[in-house]
Chains A and B, each alone.
Chain A
């Protein structure tokens, strides 16, 4: 699978970012990982080192002015380029719509979309110059609309709109931009909501939790050289629940 020797930047080093980084490294990509959380980045980088590969650790809040540019510049310098960008930002608090306050709204919108815009733009500027790029943004199945997640759904819908716009604007520049939309995945959030997860899974065609590695495998598919004719698309890794939505055909 051709991500071998490609230079990849993974933004966000929590469950899914960690699995993506390990999977890309396992497939032979050269890797940099950025997160605002120092310990998270270093944990993933040392796991990758234990597996016999190498990764560059970058600590930055790419939502702050200048930090995305600095992150991309450092990646390009350390890896000799930037071919693949994968973003896995995930910020959101559950709250009923009628009770949601402005802070909860703003946290989700700013936390998911601002760093996404800045890092995609910084990376795409480099990629457009080189005439090659693969951008994969992890949204969420919840963008279709979901209980207690108006803020998060809106932000994750923003990921879709932004990614499709990047795809369209840069379609003739050798850059593809695609979306992976996970459903219930076995991560900290799912583990903190066992009751909700149990009743949700009962309604799912495949009534199980997915793993971060399942998401990473979809990312790997879209990040490969061979995926060059696919752009602006959304792939749901969600046990089939998305089939019930009119927006997924």
Chain B
């Protein structure tokens, strides 16, 4: 799975799945840009990667902020000379039952999870088109199939799937692929949420494998799609969800 000497931007890489993705790509020889809205998180992850002897740069900024994104991409190209891989991982959730969901909660989630993917992909694709090479990997979610209390989140992640498929079609001629990974419940701050132990236990039982996924297990799929060898694979939606999408049982996560 070759990503050696490729330049990769990972959004929301200050924690959780994004951090695992950045570290896995770096360990396979990619130079990585660590984006997050929290500067301390960016710096910590970038520093930890440098400690392992790989190159990393922190780039703070919100993914739906067009100016910040343009500046981040410019800095990346200035520093590393190109942008080969974009992993759109930044995401948030604001769960609430449909009848109580507010416009603010709807807009906030759609802004980061969907508009962020649009803005980052469009900006990066400009560089990728000029290079005639690119790999875009988007993190959707199993929840895009629809899930309780997640009308905003599910719609944003469903949007990521259809956006990914359209990116794949429009960008294929520039040797740019676009694919989506749909995680199930993953052991991160977002995955665990604020749940007390008894709810966590119920959540585990609702997973066919009886456990949550690890961030590294999601990162593995991103590494595949980001690799040189996956050039013939585009527009795909791959669930890494412990089998939950085969036949979900309607209990919590």
Which residues does A use to contact B, with CB under 8 Å?
1, 164, 167-168, 171-172, 205-206, 208, 210-211, 213-214, 217-218, 221, 224, 226-233, 235-240, 242-243, 248-249
B213 to A: closest C-beta gap in Å:
4
Q: How many angstroms from the CA of A232 to the CA of B245 in the assembled complex?
A: 9
Residues A206 and B232 in contact in the complex (CB < 8 Å), given A172-B209, A221-B1, A229-B218: yes
Q: Is the pair B217, A239 in contact by a Cβ cutoff of 8 Å?
A: no
Q: Is the pair B230, A217 in contact by a Cβ cutoff of 8 Å?
A: yes
Chain B interface residue count: which class?
Answer: 35 or more
**In the complex, per-residue mask of B74-108: 1 if CB is within 8 Å of any chain A CB, else 0:** 00000000000000000000000000000000000
Q: Is the pair B246, A168 in contact by a Cβ cutoff of 8 Å?
A: yes
State which residues 165-186 of B face A: CB under 8 Å. Answer: 165, 168-169, 172, 177, 184
**Interface presence of B73 (CB below 8 A):** no
Residues in A with CB closer than 8 Å to B245 are 232-233
Q: Is the pair B247, A168 in contact by a Cβ cutoff of 8 Å?
A: yes
Q: How many angstroms from the CA of A128 to the CA of B165 in the assembled complex?
A: 37
Could you show 6 A-B contacts with beta carbons less than 8 Å apart?
A: A218-B230, A230-B241, A231-B243, A233-B238, A238-B232, A239-B234
> Which 10 pairs between the two chains have the least Cβ-Cβ distance?
A243-B235, A205-B172, A229-B217, A226-B220, A210-B232, A240-B234, A229-B213, A221-B224, A217-B229, A171-B208
State which residues 1-38 of B face A: CB under 8 Å. Answer: 1
Residues in B with CB closer than 8 Å to A217 are 1, 224, 227, 229-230
A238 to B: closest C-beta gap in Å:
7
Q: Is the pair A237, B208 in contact by a Cβ cutoff of 8 Å?
A: no
Residues A237 and B247 in contact in the complex (CB < 8 Å), given A168-B208, A171-B209: no
Which residues does B use to contact A, with CB under 8 Å?
1, 161-162, 165, 168-169, 172, 177, 184, 208-210, 213-214, 216-218, 220-221, 224, 227, 229-243, 245-247
Q: Is the pair B238, A230 in contact by a Cβ cutoff of 8 Å?
A: yes
Q: How many angstroms from the CA of A218 to the CA of B232 in the assembled complex?
A: 10
Residues in B with CB closer than 8 Å to A231 are 209, 242-243, 246
B251 to A: closest C-beta gap in Å:
16
Complex partner residue of A242 from B221, B224, B235, B246, CB under 8 angstroms = B235
| A230-B238, A236-B236 known, 15 other contacts, Cβ within 8 Å | A167-B246, A168-B247, A172-B209, A172-B210, A205-B172, A206-B172, A206-B232, A214-B231, A228-B217, A229-B241, A230-B241, A231-B209, A239-B232, A249-B161, A249-B237
Q: Is the pair B208, A240 in contact by a Cβ cutoff of 8 Å?
A: no
Q: Is the pair A230, B240 in contact by a Cβ cutoff of 8 Å?
A: yes
Q: Is the pair A232, B246 in contact by a Cβ cutoff of 8 Å?
A: yes
Q: Is the pair A240, B169 in contact by a Cβ cutoff of 8 Å?
A: yes
B156 to A: closest C-beta gap in Å:
15
Residues in B with CB closer than 8 Å to A226 are 216-217, 220
Which residue of A is nearest B172, CB measured?
A: A205
